[in-house]
Amino acid sequence: MSNKLASINNNWSNEGKLKKTKIFLYIALQNFIFNLNACNSNLKAFGDNQPYYASSLNNLAALHMSTGEYNKAVSFYQQALDVRKKSLKEEHPDYAQSLTKPGCCL
């Protein structure tokens, strides 16, 4: 009887994990859509050489990183780094912080 109870408990545990995974993916998708819209809005409003646009790219990279899409994350981090280099120059602390981001994906 104890094996049957353990099996039922294990099934409930797996269902709970599946539900949590679905919730995480839903929230990640909602965040991605929100940040993609913000990125497009910042691009239209400020152009592609502004720190606001770089921040939006950085947020998209972080979302890709959180879902395990490391190649996409590196690409967005690199774009954000390039924008910050143009708009803030290499001496700015935000640019210096951006230098570390692509390495986090390795």
Instruction: Convert the pLDDT of each residue in 85-96 to its tens digit.
Output: 998 888 888 888
What is the reported pLDDT for 82? 92
Residue 55 lies in a domain: yes
61, part of any domain:
yes
Contact 61, 85 (CB under 8 A): no
- Indicate whether 34 belongs to any domain: yes
**Is residue 58 one of the residues assigned to a domain?**
yes
Residues of the chain predicted below pLDDT 70: 1-14, 104-106
Assess if residue 59 is contained within a domain. yes
Domain count, the chain: 1
User: What is the extent of the structural domain holding 89?
Assistant: 30-105
Domain-embedded: residue 15: no
Is residue 53 domain-resident?
A: yes
Q: Distance between the two ends of the chain, CA-based, in angstroms?
A: 48
Report pTM: 0.67
Instruction: Give pLDDT, residue 1.
Output: 46
Cα 13 from Cα 87, distance rounded (Å): 50
- Residue 12 counted as domain residue: no
- 99: Cβ contacts below 8 Å, ≥ 6 apart: 81
CATH number for the domain that contains residue 40 = 1.25.40
Distances (CA, A) of 47 to 50, 53, 55, 78, 93: 6, 7, 13, 17, 21
* pLDDT on residue 97: 82
Residue-level pLDDT at 4: 56
